[in-house]
A and B are shown apart, each in its own frame.
Chain A
């Protein structure tokens, strides 16, 4: 379903993704793990038409997202790591816009929107402006919105970031459900190794832009001779903390905060 060959992305002289190749089969849940700044989000951006690769080849369901942008976009849904909601609009309006953009028929749109908002416990506050939500609520709304249409491939970039255990559970149960019932291929990233161990069929570990290991959670543990995935991960990527230089996304986030702070 996803085919990546020798993918490279450089920003100036810095190589964020360095010669990465992997395959994700149809109906598979693939976890992409790596320390901060390893290149996970950058890879997802290239897979989802938001960034042009410096070199290398990508196929999504047989389509090159660079040349067949629209066709490729029809195949996937995505929950971003960074916020992507319209804070001035209500939860229901954010869902509605998504449904229209993804061509979900009106009746189905309303029905699924209601189901999902209830599932992620936002139904009571659906008419409220999103900017008034707590961080976790916004996150839940992003996730609910991601499930509104049923794509062939679902990208989840750190979906559990900032979520309470209840919502995390809800999310993974739902991910497994759509994966099993509708054979949605899932490509996810997370920093919680236990989550990856529990839900992923296969795992890829990326560090400094390079893929350092690939296989089932079991195979990766065996390969490193460790009991848990967390230990295996540390063995593969070392235990030093990455100094994630403030990338432009972070700077923008800071700016956004400044602006919204200044306005109120």
Chain B
């Protein structure tokens, strides 16, 4: 247990010490929030979908949590290169605990980032229809964070070095984001796109947040939660397995 805690704490310390990165990671979501918020807002409104800023805020929050948790999972690659990974891998602690510490740490950081961007959204005019449901939205944020931290660790364990990083960004993280319905409603999509969005776990996370905060939902909040828990569990198992097989 203490091993899980100390590795969790390590992730947190590294996060709080990288102020520049915290600010930098807000750049892209703010762009989406403001540029798309103001740019698409009128069209969205005319199409009868309501206020786009309201709609896109949970999407932007989900995006930040996605990026942040995948990155901290992939932090494994940095640790491999800077050598610290070896130090944890030879310690007399089961790899499961080490993986758990890292994943929880990464997920916590992602939730903190999510809260930070939520605050920005509120300042920018985001008003949850159901303020009492904020804790529920937090639960969805945590689920997204765990799912993608575990995915990050699974991928990070399978890659040898940073060369695969761009590949992962362009062919996995960006598609996960764009297909999640973060920026557009999931209703009435072409068949192919609908299929793609329905196998993207982030769709369920963002849909869940919209469901509890705005009362807009495609899958239903309960389905969202079940899917996220199930996918999270599977990814944790895969991540733990891949992690236990790391050789240096």
- Which A residues contact B (CB, under 8 angstroms)? 45, 48-52, 70, 73-74, 76, 78, 80, 82-89, 93, 96-98, 100-103, 129, 248, 251-253, 255-256, 259-260
CA distance A185 to B60 in the complex (A): 56
CA distance A82 to B87 in the complex (A): 11
Known A-B contacts A248-B160, A259-B162; the reply to A84 vs B3 at CB < 8 A is no
A88 contacts B90, C-beta separation under 8 Å? no
B14 contacts A88, C-beta separation under 8 Å? yes
A101 contacts B88, C-beta separation under 8 Å? yes
Q: In the complex, what residues of A have CB within 8 A of residue B5's CB?
A: 100
A45 contacts B94, C-beta separation under 8 Å? no
Q: Is the interface of B mostly helix, strand, loop or mixed?
A: helix
B side interface size, CB within 8 A: 31
Q: In the complex, what residues of A have CB within 8 A of residue B7's CB?
A: 97
CA distance A98 to B78 in the complex (A): 19
Q: In the complex, what residues of A have CB within 8 A of residue B17's CB?
A: 88, 129
How many whole Å from B96's CB to the nearest CB in chain A? 10
A70 contacts B84, C-beta separation under 8 Å? no
Which residues 33-69 of B sit at the A interface, judged by CB distance below 8 A?
Answer: none
Q: In the complex, what residues of B have CB within 8 A of residue A93's CB?
A: 10, 13
B90 contacts A78, C-beta separation under 8 Å? yes
User: Within 8 Å of chain A (Cβ to Cβ): is B248?
Assistant: yes
Residue in A45, A78, A86, A100 whose CB lies within 8 Å of B84: A86
Residue of A nearest to B2 (CB): A100
A88 contacts B92, C-beta separation under 8 Å? no
A84 contacts B83, C-beta separation under 8 Å? yes
Q: In the complex, what residues of A have CB within 8 A of residue B195's CB?
A: none
Residue of B nearest to A75 (CB): B92
Residue of B nearest to A93 (CB): B13
Q: In the complex, what residues of A have CB within 8 A of residue B14's CB?
A: 86, 88-89
Residue of A nearest to B81 (CB): A256
Known A-B contacts A73-B92, A89-B10, A259-B81; the reply to A84 vs B87 at CB < 8 A is yes
User: Within 8 Å of chain A (Cβ to Cβ): is B89?
Assistant: yes
CA distance A84 to B83 in the complex (A): 4
User: Within 8 Å of chain A (Cβ to Cβ): is B169?
Assistant: no
How many whole Å from A88's CB to the nearest CB in chain B? 5
How many whole Å from A110's CB to the nearest CB in chain B? 14
Q: In the complex, what residues of B have CB within 8 A of residue A103's CB?
A: 2, 92
Q: In the complex, what residues of A have CB within 8 A of residue B89's CB?
A: 49-50
Since A86-B14, A89-B14, A248-B161 are in contact, a sample of 7 more A-B pairs with Cβ atoms closer than 8 Å, ordered by chain A residue number, is: A80-B83, A83-B83, A85-B84, A89-B13, A100-B5, A100-B6, A101-B93
CA distance A45 to B5 in the complex (A): 27
How many whole Å from B244's CB to the nearest CB in chain A? 9
Residue pairs across A and B with Cβ atoms less than 8 A apart, 10 shown, are A49-B89, A86-B14, A86-B79, A86-B84, A93-B13, A97-B6, A97-B7, A103-B2, A103-B92, A252-B81
